[in-house]
Amino acid sequence: MKTFLLLLYYLFATYLPMEPVPGYKFYYKIRFLIVKRLLKKCGKSVVVKNKCYFGNGDRLSVGSFSELGQNARIVGPVTLGDYVMMGPDVYIMGVTHDVSDLSKPMVVDTKNRSIQKEVKIGNDVWIGTRTVIMPGVEIGDHSIIGAGAVVTKSFPPYSIIGGVPARLIKKR
């Protein structure tokens, strides 16, 4: 059944239109009904925009009233809280590679030595367009991540962060 749902999602549902196309709420509902059966955990009223990639879904948990942005790519163990907003083209990576063995070329060595580092995004977080969130990062509740940020470290609640690499701009 899961294989069928993955095919249905990636070959059909991911291409359904989104807002402002008339009937977009119906298309969101179709994606939600499929995705909630694929994810490790899926809260209520989750919006999945088109062309969102999350592998087979078994390492992604999404809280209620959250949104997976258009063209988002979410890989590895990732937990999103409730009321998370996400702009388009967001990358969240919960997997990295062990590159400590200098005796082998990285292209050979990393294929068999991936390291999972869970990413945790708190409740009521806004993730701006084209943000990249690296493995092991935790973002506190009520935070805002500015567009184009590359987040390489964790931030406490109520943070407004941005830049490359991301830094604390101010507190909310």
Q: What is the dihedral of CA 97, 144, 28, 7, to 10 degrees?
A: 0
Q: Would you call 142 a catalytic residue per the annotation?
A: no
The catalytically annotated residue of 73, 97, 120, 167 is 97
Q: How far is CA 79 from CA 30, 46, 56, 121, 166, in A?
A: 22, 14, 15, 6, 20
- Determine the Cα–Cα distance for residues 29 and 103; give it in Å rounded to an integer: 51
- By residue count, the chain amounts to 172
* Catalytic machinery residues: 97
